[in-house]
Amino acid sequence: MRITENDFQSFAALLVSEDRGPGTTVKYLRDVRTFAAWLNHRPLTPETAAGWKEHLLHSGYAVVTINSMLSAVNRFLGSLGREDCKLRFLRVQRRSFRDQSRDLNKSEYQRLLDTAQSRGQERLELLMETICSTGIRVSEVRYVTVEAARNGRAEISLKGKIRTILLPSRLCRKLLKYARKHKTASGEIFLTRNGKSISRRQIWREMKQLCQKAGVEASKVFPHNLRHLFALSFYRACKDIVKLADILGHSSINTTRIYLVTTGAEHARQLEKLGLVT
């Protein structure tokens, strides 16, 4: 068989029916189209699928990137009923620490907030505080409403699951004050000038522009890193990984563990404390 445009459209509809996040849907479709472009109208067979995996291995992609692309294509192959073409993931040892160049710490986070405030970027400052103090995904910002701020909790419905996120009382006061200032009586709090939902792309862009002014490395400044900072801070405070997994909306604790990997520098400090070198 050969992959057709109808196959792409059916796959897109399937992802929507599975309540995949918008970012996941876009990424899966991009990866699948990349696979189809590489096939270049050749028949889909176990051999050609395996050839694409070999192509990725020799193209300089990181292992995690390759596995991510394989995950998208395997889901697509499953939707086509071509289980025989599915590809095995690359095995990779779990890292005991993460790259420090991508680790956002509290002092850098505070610099971002202070810089946003000094530049009059009130919405961006409050957005970063909201994500970082609750651990929500950037795609879940739309659930932060006036009603949620009044109740002190947001009901988030995503990926077929509903979870409740508690909002810190101080954050609620700031959110309601911001809503009153912008005459938002109900509904979403973070809106564009045209009254539309703010997009993840816009949030990303504003944060990237801010990092230069704040003197924070661009590699550390993106919305998901605020979620990571929340996870680390929460775990260090309560040491309850099960509760953290529930708050973050993870179905597997193994996913939550990824958020708790320390940096190389912290790992080195822990080794020094062992006192095993005389």
pLDDT in tens, 173-212: 999 999 999 999 999 999 999 999 999 889 999 999 999 8
pLDDT digits (tens, 9 = 90+) for 223-236: 999 999 999 999 98
Contacts of 258 (CB under 8 A, 6+ apart): none
- Residue 36's pLDDT is 95
How does the average pLDDT of the chain come out, rounded? 90
- Between CA 162 and CA 259 the distance in angstroms is 21
- Residue 266's pLDDT is 64
Contact present, 140 and 181 (Cβ < 8 Å): no
Structure tokens at 250: 């993870």
Contact present, 219 and 133 (Cβ < 8 Å): no
Question: How much of the chain, in percent, has pLDDT values that exceed 90?
Answer: 70
Strand ranges in the chain using DSSP code E only, listed in sequence order: 153-158, 161-166
Residue type, 170: R
Contacts of 26 (CB under 8 A, 6+ apart): none
| Cα-based torsion angle of the residue sequence 246, 251, 254, 255 in order, rounded to the nearest 10 degrees | -80
Contact present, 181 and 174 (Cβ < 8 Å): no
Structure tokens at 273: 């404390």
| Cα-based torsion angle of the residue sequence 248, 254, 255, 257 in order, rounded to the nearest 10 degrees | 80
DSSP string, 72-85: HHHHHHHHTT-GGG
- Ramachandran region, residue 52 (left: φ > 0; alpha: ψ -120 to 50; beta: rest): alpha
pLDDT digits (tens, 9 = 90+) for 54-104: 999 999 888 889 999 999 999 999 999 999 999 999 986 666 556 666 789
- Residue 260's pLDDT is 80
- Residue 189's pLDDT is 97
- Other C-beta atoms closer than 10 Å to the C-beta of 209 total 14
Lowest-confidence region among 25-29, 125-129, 193-197, 263-267 = 263-267
- Residue 254's pLDDT is 82
Whether the predicted pLDDT of 268 surpasses 80: no
Whether the predicted pLDDT of 262 surpasses 70: no
Which strand (E) or helix (H) includes residue 269?
A: helix 264-273
pTM of the model: 0.68
- Residue 256's pLDDT is 87
Residue 252 three-state SS: coil
- Other C-beta atoms closer than 10 Å to the C-beta of 156 total 21
User: What does DSSP assign to residue 136?
Assistant: -
Whether the predicted pLDDT of 167 surpasses 90: yes
